[in-house]
Copies of this chain bind each other. A is one copy, B any other.
Amino acid sequence: MAYDLYVITDETIGRGLSHAELARRAVAGGADAVQLRDKRLSGRKLFDAASEIREVTHDAGALFIVNDRLDVALAVGADGVHLGESDLPIGHARRLAPPGFVIGASVGSVATAVRAREEGADYVALSPTFATGSKDDAGPGHGLAVLSAIRAAVPLPLVAIGGITAGNVSDVIAAGADGVAVISAIVGQEDVTAAARDLRNRIAVAKAGRR
């Protein structure tokens, strides 16, 4: 599973583009994973959007993760679910999910990352790594020192989310992230595909420099 460039769709900053169209443009630029996150949508509307993104990501060979709603993820055949602190408990999701189903967890410290792994998470996302305007509930950033500490303590894929830009992505990778999850740095850009391609290149260069 590659999480190098992990794009979270957001219709509210997506210039009128649908979740599926944002996903299509992002994977065209090389996004490895797409997460559908929209707390405003009804179960049915989320299901409909997820069904569309499942097609887009399947055709592109990208991972597809649904935020919070495990039932929607399972119903559309998504690859996994991403769980934040206010979502279903990780352990319960693990018991309901079939083998191979990916469960990602938002964490804010080494302790919560360790616990997420114990409860069955397949990857952890430090959220927010930097302060951000994209997620209303995100708060101040935890910073690269916490990112590196999690890297050292938890043997799971580690994604940085929150405030990642073309300007700081190299530092984030250098600090130990396996990938970065972004909203506005891609979905909020005029040319979504070009923004994805640019970020993906920067990640590849930073990873090459880390070896």
Report A's interface with B, CB cutoff 8 A.
Answer: 42-45, 47, 68-72, 74-75, 85-89, 92-93, 95-96
Contacts and interface: CB of A to CB of B under 8 A. Distances in A.
A95 B42 CA distance: 20
Q: Is the interface of A mostly helix, strand, loop or mixed?
A: helix
A39 to B, nearest CB: 9
Nearest to A95: B75
B69 A92 contact: no
Contacts of A74: 71, 96
Contact of A93 (B71, B93, B96): B71
A44 B93 CA distance: 11
A42 B86 contact: yes
Contacts of A44: 85-89
A42 B86 CA distance: 6
A86 B70 CA distance: 17
Contacts of A45: 86
A28 to B, nearest CB: 28
Contact of A88 (B75, B88, B89): B75
Contacts of A72: 88
B43 A92 contact: no
Contact of A42 (B42, B43, B87): B87
Nearest to A74: B96
A71 B43 contact: no
A75 B93 CA distance: 7
For A43, A70, A72, A95, the residue with the greatest tally of chain B CB atoms inside 10 Å of its CB is A43
Contacts of A85: 44
Nearest to A48: B89
A93 B44 CA distance: 11
A44 B89 CA distance: 7
Given A43-B88, A44-B86, 10 more contacts: A42-B87, A43-B87, A45-B86, A47-B88, A71-B71, A71-B74, A71-B88, A75-B88, A75-B89, A75-B92
